Amino acid sequence: MTARQALGKGLGALIPEKGPPEAEGRKALRTCGIEEIHPNPFQPRKTFLDEPLQELVDSIREKGILQPLLVRRKGDGYELIAGERRWRAAQKAGVKEVPILVRDVSDSEMLEDSLIENIQRENLNPIEEAEAYKRLMEQFHLTQEEVSQKVGKDRTTVANTVRLLKLPPEIKLSLAEGKITMGHARAFLSLDGPDKQKLLLKRLLTGGLSVRQTESLVRRLRTRGSPAPRKTDAEWSVLIDELQRSLGTKIRIVGKRKRGKIEIDFYSSEELDRIVEFLRR
């Protein structure tokens, strides 16, 4: 099987499970100095979280690198095709030499391999995954159906993930950092215009809304067509923050702009007395 035929089948198609290395030197399993390896320029993953990476560092210190890094020759050294987390962790663990498996692939094959491998391992955040799908479609002229077949996911999942790239930068960053979930992000897509979406993000982050609460708020925002309510909502948010700081407890404003009620939380009789005294003043 050639490297091109193996694309889309994951590392299992590129790395033999057992048996001696192939006779050709360029395909043999070997070791090299870790400083000879350079990162993959097509790496779709932009974020490497410290805590999970440290777990891999500890594992490498105890057991070594169990799976070789997949590389190709580049100048006097090598360029990673797959295994950047292991490579980074090995550096942190102080490893001097690492096992490698050398493959002869072109830039386009390397890009496709990197994207598919990372998606199949499910170690990309949703925005990185969406960008990977987009690159597969744009650079390899693949349809959503073809992408879904290559990565082993439903076409609807691919389509919904790519739609996330339409969100404003602030929302995409919050999703990439794990501050909001995919369920929250899908609710944002139902809103027209970045102003409403940014307002919803602010309410979500300050209020810790669940996906269901977010969807309910989206339905309310969608029924308001003029810009005025959006401005009022923002003013109310500032007012709520000011009242909560003054009263020292959580409050809610329930109702519409011209009529409603203010709900004030208290958690003991002493706290109620304190709030009543503050209001009397």
CA distance 178 to 172: 10
CA distances 59 to 64, 105, 178, Å, are: 7, 30, 25
Secondary structure of 86-137 in HEC code, one letter for each residue = HHHHHHHCCCCEEEEEECCCCHHHHHHHHHHHHHHHCCCCHHHHHHHHHHHH
Instruction: Report which of 89, 78, 74 is spatially closest to residue 32, judged by C-alpha positions.
Output: 78
Strands 69-74, 77-82: pairing is antiparallel
Helix (H) or strand (E) holding 77: strand 77-82
Q: How far apart (Å, rounded) are the C-alpha atoms in residues 119 and 128?
A: 9
Catalytic residue chosen out of the listed positions 17, 51, 62, 84: 84
Examine the residue annotation and report whether 84 is marked as an active-site residue of this protein.
yes
Which positions are catalytic? 84
